[in-house]
């Protein structure tokens, strides 16, 4: 089952994707978030609850896209209660991409060793077989729900940014129950979006490079995730494909199991606050930046993973003016 969120008649609505041309509305309050909370409370699966709440109203999918009425497939009514985070060096091949990026800047050997060491820890211990916690992955914070950009909407690039690069990834979408138990609602394809030049200067600036907007969706996959997934990441400029490359994801192509990545995120008590939404990016090994691509205003990112239905598309919008930041004393 694949779900979307959209604006319809002035309200946030949930719909099931029935075909590439058509979606069917679900009777729900507070969108997918409300459905998830209800499923938790009633101890029912989300798919079962959705099936029981289907309406007879169907909408034209292309019209929703054309009118920019698509919304991210899981949001919180209060964006401050949505945490966006992620992990790096999780995919086989990701260490090579990272090391090549650093090597182009003539990074110190110690920096490369740190990245490779982290990657090797994942390869050696990221998929424990006995149900015990495995190696910790690299972890980063991106922001709260205010940084989420809807599918088809423009990703903003701040004036101080040195780069605006895509990161095609899987994202896990979660709701924390009233008792502090995290529940996985489903998965979405995402564009984690980072500033790779800032990161390349010094890998300790990774945290700065991640404090950018992001997008995920348009469709939320409910149920089991295939172990092997093949997709395509591309950049379109002036109606022509500027850059295009296949990417692999799913556990078969990762150094860590999803369960291990989830454990090392939700082991922290402050990430199990009742009612919160979490969007957690699982990493990638494919970047246009590694192929020396520099994006510009108006370029459109497309992350296409057929198992997730429609591709995630977002144009870039560069800001030419920097907002003054003046700190005042009380």
Please answer whether residues 313 and 234 qualify as being in contact, where contact means their C-beta atoms are separated by less than 8 angstroms: no
Interatomic CA distance for residues 113 and 70, integer angstroms: 43
Looking at residue 301, what DSSP letter applies? E
Q: Which two tokens stand for residue 99?
A: 């090391």
pLDDT band at 106 (very low <50, low <70, confident <90, very high): very low
- pLDDT tens across 16-69, in order? 999 999 999 999 989 999 999 999 999 999 999 999 999 999 999 999 999 999
Instruction: Tell me the CA distances in angstroms from 133 to 8, 256, 264, 278, 329, one per residue in order.
Output: 44, 11, 8, 20, 46
Cβ pair 236, 298 in contact under 8 A: no
Distances from the Cα of 162 to the Cα of 43, 193, 201, 318, angstroms: 47, 13, 11, 11
102, containing H or E segment: helix 94-104
Please state, rounded to an integer, the average pLDDT across all residues of the chain.
91
Between 117 and 219, name the one with better pLDDT: 219
- For 171, residues 6+ apart whose C-beta sits below 8 A from its C-beta are 86, 187, 188, 189, 190, 192, 216, 279, 280, 281, 282
Tell me what pLDDT residue 45 has.
Answer: 96
Note the pLDDT tens digit of each residue in 121-174: 777 878 888 878 888 999 999 999 999 999 999 999 999 999 999 999 999 999
- Give SS3 for 147: helix
Worst-scoring range by mean pLDDT, 132-141, 269-278, 296-305? 132-141
């Amino acid at each position: 089952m694949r779900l979307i969120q959209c604006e319809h008649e002035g309200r946030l609505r949930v719909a099931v994707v029935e075909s590439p041309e058509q979606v069917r509305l679900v009777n729900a309050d507070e969108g997918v978030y409300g459905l998830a909370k209800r499923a938790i409370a009633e101890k029912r699966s989300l798919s079962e609850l959705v099936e029981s709440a289907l309406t007879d109203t169907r909408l034209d999918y292309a019209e929703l896209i054309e009118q920019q009425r698509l919304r991210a497939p899981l949001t919180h009514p209060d964006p401050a209660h949505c945490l966006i985070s992620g992990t790096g060096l999780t995919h086989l091949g990701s260490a090579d991409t990272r090391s090549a990026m650093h090597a182009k800047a003539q990074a110190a050997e110690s920096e490369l060793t740190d990245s490779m060491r982290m990657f090797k820890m994942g390869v050696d211990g990221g998929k424990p077989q006995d149900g015990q916690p495995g190696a910790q992955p690299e972890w980063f914070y991106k922001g709260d729900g205010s940084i989420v950009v809807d599918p088809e909407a423009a990703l903003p690039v701040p004036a101080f940014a040195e780069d605006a690069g895509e990161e095609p990834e899987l994202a896990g979408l979660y709701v924390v129950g009233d008792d502090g138990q995290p529940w996985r609602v489903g998965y979405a394809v995402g564009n984690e979006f980072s500033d790779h030049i800032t990161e390349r200067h010094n890998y300790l600036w990774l945290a700065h490079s991640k404090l950018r907007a992001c997008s995920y969706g348009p469709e939320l996959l409910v149920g089991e995730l295939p172990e092997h997934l093949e997709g395509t990441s591309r950049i379109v400029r002036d109606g022509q494909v500027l850059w295009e490359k296949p990417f692999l994801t799913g556990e078969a192509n990762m150094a860590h199991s999803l369960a291990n990545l989830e454990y090392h995120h939700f082991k922290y008590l402050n990430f199990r606050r009742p009612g919160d939404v979490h969007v957690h990016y699982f990493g990638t090994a494919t970047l246009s930046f590694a192929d020396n691509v520099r994006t510009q205003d108006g370029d459109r990112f497309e992350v296409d993973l057929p198992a997730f239905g429609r591709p995630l598309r977002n144009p870039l919008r560069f800001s030419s003016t920097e907002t003054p930041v003046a700190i005042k004393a009380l």
